[in-house]
Amino acid sequence: MKRIKTYFGVITVMAIIALSACNNVQTYDNVEEMVAATAKTTDFITVEELKARIDSMEVFNLIDVREPTEFYHGYIPGSTLIPRGVLEFRIGNEDFWMNEGLYLPEKDELFIIVSKKGSRSVLAAQSLRKLGYPYVLVLKGGWKKWELTYPDIYEKDLDALGGHEEEEEVGGC
């Protein structure tokens, strides 16, 4: 009887250890730590490399994960807006892509992710990899780096926000 209790005790302890090992979730003190840790497993592309791909007419999916109010004030030509908060829900949604006038991308296509400075892109890329998209690159420095490097190569659509950009008065009658 004592042997059975010992075996039962050993099995119980082993089961507890095994179950606690499965619950090994990484936690961070702040989002900067989380982004830094995730960036270690992220592949990046520079704005110069992205421009070269655009100029060569290479086919890829350029996904901007900023919010609409950020996007419509300026975005890289050819970008598709999918805000970070809804990325996982829209990336594989055929109706979303049809409404954008585009085809539903295959998972094995190249995706280049853009955010304001790159942090949201790193987290978005991680989500896409978890959803089975193996070829995901993040634009290093994000939209801000593009805007500073290529200040004349961007588009904007303020009408989508319901208004026009205010023009400064220049005088006259």
Query: If you average pLDDT over residues 153-162, what whole number do you get?
Result: 77
Q: Is residue 92 part of a domain?
A: yes
CA distance 44 to 53: 14
Pairwise pLDDT comparison (162 vs 150), residue with the higher score: 150
Q: Which residue range(s) make up the domain with 129?
A: 31-160
**Cβ distance 147 to 115 under 8 Å?**
no
- Domain count for the chain, please give it: 1
The answer to the question of residue 99 being in a domain is yes
In-domain check, residue 57: yes
Residue 165 in any domain: the answer is no
Q: Residue 52: which of 155, 150, 156 has the closest Cα?
A: 150
Q: How far is the C-alpha of 43 from the C-alpha of 11, rounded, in Å?
A: 43
Asked if residue 112 has pLDDT above 50, the reply is: yes
With respect to residue 1, please indicate whether it lies within any of the assigned structural domains: no
Choose among 115, 129, 117, 109: nearest CA to 42: 129
Asked if the structure places residue 167 within a domain, the reply is no
pLDDT band at 26 (very low <50, low <70, confident <90, very high): confident
pLDDT value of residue 70: 93
Residue 169 binned pLDDT confidence (cut-offs 50, 70, 90): very low
Give the pLDDT confidence score for residue 158 in this predicted structure: 74
**In this structure, is residue 171 part of a structural domain?**
no
23/26 Cα distance (integer angstroms): 9
CATH number at residue 52: 3.40.250.10
Q: Tell me if 79 is assigned to some domain.
A: yes
Instruction: Give the range among 50-59, 107-116, 163-172 with minimum mean pLDDT.
Output: 163-172
